Amino acid sequence: MRRARQGERGGSLPETAIVMGIVLVLLLGIIDFGRAMYTYASVAQLARQGARWAIVRGAQCTQLDHCGAVSTDVQTFVQGQSMGVMNPSSISVNATWPPSGCPAGLPAKSPGCIVIVTVTYPFQFVLPFMNTNFPTYSMTSTSQMVISQ
């Protein structure tokens, strides 16, 4: 092992600080994008759950609560299903029963018609440089299903 010369002492300290700073930013970036992917998967799952809840509460529903559900009923259900890091009051839900989605002149919310549920959540990155570029990023997912009852 050779001895360090007088002028080389402490030379590895600035190099280590620079490399550790870069590694730390990369690690925090990976964690933040992992949070974003988790949030998007949760939003997509909430849209599917909201659509499933709405398809069994159509015009011919008689035995379930909230039969003939409206958009606010679906929103209340979806907000109650949220888990994890999501703030339930920040979740916005839009459920629609388009007349064009019904076969042969059936009224809306009849069996065979469709329901479309759109869930939106404002995601906020933790990293400071991401907060300036994307203060909030709107995560949106839509699910469409056919009413069964």
Q: Which two tokens stand for residue 103?
A: 């076969």
Distance from chain centroid for Cα 44: 6
- Contact between 48 and 143 (Cβ < 8 Å): yes
3-class DSSP state for residue 28? helix
Tokens coding 59 = 């015009």
Among candidate residues 138, 143, 144, 147, the one with its CA nearest the CA of residue 110? 147
| Tokens of residue 48, six digits | 């599917």
Q: Per the structure block, which two tokens stand in for 16?
A: 């280590």
Q: Determine, yes or no, domain membership for 1.
A: no
Rounded CA gap, 85 and 63, in Å? Answer: 34
Lowest mean pLDDT among 31-40, 105-114, 117-126, 136-145: 105-114
Residues 58-73 have pLDDT tens digits of: 877 777 787 878 889 9
- Give the pLDDT confidence of 45-60 residue by residue, as tens digits: 999 999 999 998 887 7
**Average pLDDT of the residues in 61-87:** 85
Say if 16 falls within a structural domain.
yes
Domain that residue 133 falls in:
6-146
Number of structural domains (the chain) is 1
Whole-angstrom distance, CA of residue 146 vs CA of residue 116: 9
Q: Quick one: 106 exposed, middle or buried, by C-beta within 10 A (0-12, 13-18, 19+)?
A: middle
